[in-house]
Chain A
Amino acid sequence: MSERIKDLSKQELAAVHKMASKGLRHALFSLSQITGHSFGMHAPSVSAVSLEHLPEVVGPGDQVVVAIYMSIDGDVRGHLAFLFPWHSAQRLWDLVVGHYPHDPQTVDDLCASAMLETGNILNSGFMNALSLMTNLRIHATPPLVSIDDAHSIASAITCQTELGDSVALAMETKIFDEANDGISGYFLCIPTGKGLHALLTGLDVRESA
Chain B
Amino acid sequence: MEVQNQLVVGMSEIQVASGPTRYTCLGLGSCIGLCALDPFSGVSGAIHVMLPEAFPNRPVDRPGKFADTGLPELLHLMELAGAIRSKIIAAYAGGASVFQYGTGVPGVQDVGHRNAEAVRKVARELGINVIAHDTGGSNGRTIYMQSDTGEMVVKTISAGEKVLCSLRRP
Residues of A within 8 A of B (CB): 52, 55, 61-62, 64, 67, 69-71, 73, 104-105, 112-113, 115-116, 119, 141-160, 162-163, 166
On B, residues with C-beta under 8 Å from A are 10-11, 26-31, 50-51, 58, 65, 96, 98-105, 108-109, 111-112, 115, 139-142, 157-158
B46 to chain A, nearest CB (A): 15
Give the distance in Å from the alpha carbon of A156 to the alpha carbon of B113 in the complex: 12
A149 touches B140 (CB 8 A): yes
Q: Are B108 and A152 in contact (CB under 8 A)?
A: no
Decide if A163 touches B111 in the complex (CB within 8 Å).
Answer: yes
Chain B residues with CB under 8 A of A166: 58
Nearest chain B CB to A183 CB, angstrom units: 20
In the bound complex, do residue A141 and residue B157 qualify as a contact, i.e. CB atoms below 8 Å apart? no
List 7 tightest A-B contacts by C-beta distance, closest first. A151-B27, A152-B140, A156-B29, A144-B99, A155-B29, A152-B29, A145-B101
Select from chain B the residue with minimum beta-carbon distance to A79.
B108
Chain B residues near A64 (CB-CB < 8 A): 157
- Within the assembled complex, what's the spacing in Å between the Cα atoms of A64 and B158? 11
Q: Which residue in B27, B58, B158 is a CB contact (below 8 Å) of A55?
A: B27
Q: List 5 A-B contacts (CB under 8 A).
A: A152-B139, A155-B28, A159-B29, A159-B51, A160-B108
A43 to B101, CA, bound (A): 30
Which B residues are in CB contact (< 8 Å) with A142?
102-105
CB closest chain-A residue, reference B102: A144
Known: A61-B27, A154-B29, A155-B27. Contact between A148 and B98, CB under 8 A?
Answer: yes
Q: Residues of B contacting A149 with CB < 8 Å? A: 27, 140, 142, 157
Given A156-B140, A159-B30, A159-B111: A146 and B99 within 8 A (CB)?
yes
Distance of A163 from chain B, by nearest CB (Å)? 7
Known: A62-B142, A152-B140, A156-B29. A105 touches B105 (CB 8 A): no
- Contacting residues, chain B, for A55 (C-beta < 8 A): 26-27
- A156 and B99 in contact (CB under 8 A), knowing A62-B142, A105-B158, A150-B27? yes
CA distance A201 to B91 in the complex (A): 49
Residue from A104, A156, A158 whose CB has the most chain B CB atoms within 10 Å: A156
Q: Which residues of A contact B115 (CB under 8 A)?
A: 159
A154 touches B27 (CB 8 A): yes
Q: Is the CB of A104 within 8 A of B99?
A: no
- Residues of chain B contacted by A155 (CB below 8 angstroms): 11, 27-31, 50, 140
Asked whether, in the complex, the Cβ of B102 is within 8 Å of the Cβ of A143, the reply is yes
CA distance A77 to B35 in the complex (A): 35
Pairwise interchain contact A159-B104, C-beta atoms closer than 8 A = no
Q: Report the bound CA distance from A153 to B111 in whole Å.
A: 13
Cβ contacts under 8 Å, B26 to chain A: 55, 61, 151
Q: Is the Cβ of A145 less than 8 Å from the Cβ of B29?
A: no
Q: Give min CB distance, B97 to chain A, whole Å.
A: 8
- Specify which chain A residues have a CB less than 8 angstroms from the CB of B10 in the assembled complex: 52
Chain A residues within 8 Å of B30, by CB: 155-156, 159
Query: Does A119 lie within 8 Å of B102, measured CB to CB?
Result: yes
Query: Within 8 Å CB of B158, what residues of A?
Result: 104-105
